[in-house]
Chains A and B, each alone.
Chain A
Amino acid sequence: MSIAEQGTAASTGSAESTDTEASTDTGGLARLDWPAVRLRVRNLRTGFRVDGVLRPIVAGVSFDLLPGQCVAIVGESGSGKSVTARSLVGLAGRNAVVAADELELHHEDARSFSSKRWRRVRGRDIGFVLQDALVSLDPLRPVGAEIAEALRLHGWGDRAARKARVLELLERVGVPSPAVRARQRPDQLSGGLRQRALIASAIALDPDIVIADEPTTALDVTVQAQVLAQLEAMKERGASLILISHDLSVVARLADHILVMRGGEVLEQGSAAQVLAAPEHEYTRALIAAVPGETTRGRALTPGAPEPGPRPAIGDPVLEARDLVKRFHTSDGTVTRAVDGVSFTLRAGETLGIVGESGSGKSTTARLALGLERLDSGDVRLLGQDWSALPESRRRALRRRISVVYQDPLSSFDPRWTVERILLDSLRSERFASGADRDARVRELLGQVGLGAEVLPRFPLTLSGGQRQRVAIARALAPRPDIIVLDEAVSALDVTIQAQILDLLVALQRESGVAYLFISHDLGVISHLSDRVLVMKDGVVVEEGTAEDVFERPQQPYTRDLIAAIPEFAPAGDPRSISPEGDA
């Protein structure tokens, strides 16, 4: 119904006048390719009706989609990029009102399409790859049947032909042994295979336009590389791709044309080379500068932020782990070695990065270091004293020497507590001469993480993601620890917020000399922050060394694969050019 409103909502008589306007506000898109344009969008606007009031979400999106071309929409959460994608296929939602000056699919005015017509268009003309394969696939149905269903709905072939087609599609998107996989349910497939099955169902009818909404978010970097290769192959076969992503390095690999969105508006658009190499808008520049990596080490990621001070001298070992082993017993009686003989030493003032893909045992290693998980064998020493060998009651007194920041700060705060109560609680072990002294310390902590006293009476739920993580860091700083364990602490944050938190972490370390044990799946973040790096796979450390050695001269094949899989992204002004192939 939302789309049905488009026809009446958008005026139809002013195409001429908007043409000239459109060509200016799209950065002078070539009009010569007009016959080839598959999807033309001019001044797309989407709003949601809430309590009878229309709230605009997206305004003024315009672009042309050409054969074999990829248009990328880049933005952080709340930028309206997903709403834009959904508006283009009539899926904006029940309360949505979509309007446009022009919305032409294969030169046909799509604004007047009925919802029935849209159902025919989706799948046949436009394939839509949704973000989360686990929730987008029917959990009770084999993936082969799911893909066949898409074919059946559009009356494609007979049963046997559809079956053959499913296998062909799975093969095409790089699913090994498709005949076996087609009979499996989504929960029996890995994340990468699920995502590829989803792509297969989106391209089942060979649509010449494919919209992919965050197709690689939540995938491991090597799997991400495989999925990106599939999308690239699709492009080479002549399909047009609309890619929605928050990740500039993914976008850099595929996009020909980039739209940068924030708060529902397009701030900047142009060819990929132009937007990435010579961004005009301040926000685009901030976005590009915020991408952490090897070349950004020791530099501030937020434009205008003060460069970090001199780095503190690396001191004595504060945390020593020797031959850590942790086994988990699964319900079917098998034993997995989540951590198998991991050793490391963390020194005062140093950052040790542990990087690995999901299931590598990096988070378990962090929990073992924190004494939150019982060791099966091995030994952890904290500040030269027994740590893992102590019973919990004796560990308690030492606990304030080592604190932790989690990926999801919200779940690590008691939902009934205000920021003030959370911080006071973290100061319980400290003695204060007076209540005023204690309040001063709370304010000092807030100041250290760049927050004001106005957040004190608020509940973490009402804070933004970045603010929450700052509160979590303040809580970790409160006992003046020697070590902070950061377990995927910036992974859930938007790029620019992540940059601010990373800058904050660097500054705090320079001020206080605290040591970080930094766990992440993100090689860019690890290489930006770490002095030394541990690469983990299947519970084992496969490579260890200084960040420079590991990233510049990886010794092990796995590390090389991992680094090769990072979509190459060189910010403006970097000596390396943008290479879409990622030939590290």
Chain B
Amino acid sequence: MQTGVRILFQTMAGRRFASLASALALAPLGLAGCAAINGMQEPLTADQAATIRLVCPTQEQRAASDAMADGVGKRTYRDGVVADCVKMIDGKYADFKMRLHKDAAISNLSTDLLALGLSGAAALTTGATANQFAEGATVVTGARTAINKDVFYEQTLPAVEAAMDANRSKILASIINAEKSDPDGKSYTLAAAGIDLDSYEQAGNIYTAIAGLTQTASNTAQQAAATVTVAQEQPYYVAKIVAPDIFPRLLRVTKAIRSIPAGPPGQPLLDSIAKALAVPIQPGASFVTERADILNAINQRIHTSSDPATDMTKIEQQVSAFITLP
């Protein structure tokens, strides 16, 4: 049974809607005004069960492997079967990508709807299909906004493909590493490899790729929006030139803070300095944003101080409690 999901674009009652339905439910592509994009590769089992194998690896291969004594022979057999499966899955994936481009080229998408995201359309479907659709739908907002389909296919499709490729590469790497770490075929059995191969096959799935891309885009957008909001809400302050005898000390402190390594080693230091200086940190702020907040606070304190020498000394003491000043 075709388990793939097709996204069909239809013109309904003079307005365009995207509807999502199982391939069987809306399979006839002869529907006027419809076009379809199949969102995932054909599963290996779809057309090969009868002639080649039920799953990859087969029950027989698993049994044969299990019957072997641990050692080079078992490993070679396992790796050979896994390699065959990977090759077959890769073949299906290549077919899928070609079909994706072909679908894109022939789709009747001279509409103002973007192919993979129509929030309102989720209401037209039910159950798991609707959930799948809703995940993808967040890619696009404003369903009635005119969208150039060429832009979508030229820019979005490659991004989705890249995400699928990345997902597949990650899983394939883990399979290869698992094989290498078990040279006798003792713990990484064909059964275990089969589970990983299923994941590898499933990674060639447009919905998984879109969900990942959407999450990334959403996180980035939220962070950018938060930064803009904070920047807009920050008041201006009247700054004074810092005296020549104080400025080198200010530079010493700010350069030391900029030299804190990003990531796990430096984050606790940065947090401690922010706390010592009573610098409020935005929830979820990145390392760079938190560091910028600290630098801004120090500069503001010194550039507005009526006694910059004393304030500079305090800041030096507070910061040098955590990092060495040059």
Physical interaction between A and B: no
